[in-house]
Amino acid sequence: MEYRRLGRTGLKVSVLSFGSWVTFGPQLDGDLATACLSAAYEAGINFFDNAEAYAGGKSEEIMGRALRELGWPRWSYVVSTKLFWGLHDVVNMHNTLNRKYLMQAIDASLERFGLDFVDLVFCHRADPDTPIEETVWAMHDIVSSGKALYWGTSEWPAADLRAAFEIAERHHLHKPVMEQPEYNLFKRAKVEQEYARLYEDFGLGLTTWSPLASGLLTGKYLGGVPEGSRASLSGYEWLRDRVLDEERNAAVRRLQPIAARLGCSTAQLAIAWCAHNPRVSTVILGASRVEQVHENLASLEVLERLDDDVLAEIEAAMAG
Ligand code: NDP
């Protein structure tokens, strides 16, 4: 396993990490969830991503229970949560980054996990209704209290992130150190263009999500929606159009011969491609089965095969 610094911090995270969106709760519980975490940890993964909103809080409970069962030393892994959507559909407690919500939400999250602190806490989206200064102070206080060790954002516009850095700098507060954007062969603009200046200016690290575009880049949707797949789950109807999109599937088909020549699957090629970007601190994997964890972890072997010629072929395949 390769470990990369989370931006300019001294914290190192495994270049591949493991997240629980969709899977923990709707697809995996108990032993299976523990087995996936265990397979990831055994291979050197040290970062496990979660969020308050995943399965309405159940995902944090499942991960917390599994971590207790597995009995790993707390110093051996990094765990995160993300706050924004809230679990109570009432004023001040959902779709917000106000101080009241954040201070109460972190306590509730720690309780669900059964942990004293999370290593990383993210503002899961930007909140145009709360002054950025209020959010930065609240996140600073969460870090100062020891309930989280580092804070960051997810899918924030670059301008809001810059404002947050500048406020933190002005008041000598804990700064955001990482952002969690979607990054995969279909979704590149935020990481490659919008945030381009933030890496050098502020030392921003990235924990990127959906390396397989929810499974599309595995090629599993080339012939329709397979039973049991994410797009077949009730509540995920919105995903069907996206994964069945003809142009996108045509691009996946064009990636297949490249992957075959490299002796890997298109999933492994797509994950390795994300990790190839040095701005990416860690690529968060999703998996609904232990076999997927194993297959996706083997992307590490593909990483070293991505030379300039292969990268150019991938660009051409995506362009069509
Ligand atoms: P992916 O795009 O990699 O999709 C993962 C899903 O694809 C799996 O659950 C599985 O679904 C399918 N899959 C994975 N590997 C294989 C394989 N080898 N063969 C066949 N199917 C496979 O990642 P996610 O969308 O799950 O995102 C990863 C993590 O990123 C999340 O768990 C979460 O922690 C984080 N995230 C953060 C967000 C944010 O807003 N900050 C938003 C979304 C995710 P199935 O088997 O059911 O088809």
Residues 91-137 have pLDDT tens digits of 999 999 999 999 999 999 999 999 999 999 999 999 999 999 999 99
Please report whether residue 197 resides in a domain. Answer: yes
Under the banding of pLDDT at 50, 70 and 90, the label for residue 242 is very high
Work out the pLDDT band at 50, boundaries 50, 70, 90.
very high
Residue type, 137: W
Atom of ligand 1 nearest to the CA of 125: 40
Q: Residue 220: inside a domain, yes or no?
A: no
Q: Is residue 304 part of a domain?
A: no
Examine the residue annotation and report whether 3 is marked as an active-site residue of this protein. Answer: no
- The DSSP bridge pattern shows strands 3-5 and 12-14 to be antiparallel
Round the average pLDDT of the chain to a whole number and report it: 97
Is 70 contained in some domain?
yes
**Residue 45 placed within a domain:** yes
Q: How many residues does this entry show for the chain?
A: 320
> How do residues 205-227 score in pLDDT, each as one tens digit?
999 999 999 999 999 999 999 99
Of 125, 126, 84, 127, nearest to 106 (Cα)? 84
Does the pLDDT at position 26 exceed 90? Answer: no
Residue 317 lies in a domain: no
What distance lies between CA 271 and its chain's CA centroid? 13
Tokens found for residue 17: 């990490």
Question: The domain containing residue 131 runs over which residues?
Answer: 3-215+277-293
- Is the pLDDT assigned to residue 29 strictly greater than 90? no
E strands, the chain, where? 3-5, 12-14, 16-19, 47-49, 78-83, 118-123, 148-153, 176-179, 205-208, 280-285
Question: Is residue 300, in this structure, part of any structural domain at all?
Answer: no
pLDDT, one tens digit per residue, over 254-302 is 999 999 999 999 999 999 999 999 999 999 999 999 999 999 999 999 9
Q: CB–CB of 256/266 below 8 Å?
A: yes
Q: Is residue 243 part of a domain?
A: no
Query: What's the pLDDT at 30?
Result: 85
**CA-derived radius of gyration, the chain:** 19
Number of independent structural domains in the chain = 1
**Exposed, middle or buried by CB within 10 Å (0-12, 13-18, 19+), for 59?**
buried
User: What distances in angstroms separate CA 175 from CA 11, 103, 148, 164, 165, one per listed residue?
Assistant: 15, 17, 13, 7, 6
Mutate to test the pocket of ligand 1, among 32, 83, 154, 214 (most ligand atoms within 8 A of CB): 214
Nearest CA to ligand 1 atom 3: 212
Q: What is the pLDDT at residue 107?
A: 98
What would the two tokens of residue 252 be? 């996946």
**DSSP state at residue 190:** I
The rounded distance, in Å, linking the Cα atoms of 58 and 39 is 21
Distance 292 CA to ligand 1 centre (A): 10
Contact residues for 9 (Cβ-Cβ < 8 A; gap 6+): 150, 177, 178, 203, 205
CATH number at residue 39: 3.20.20.100
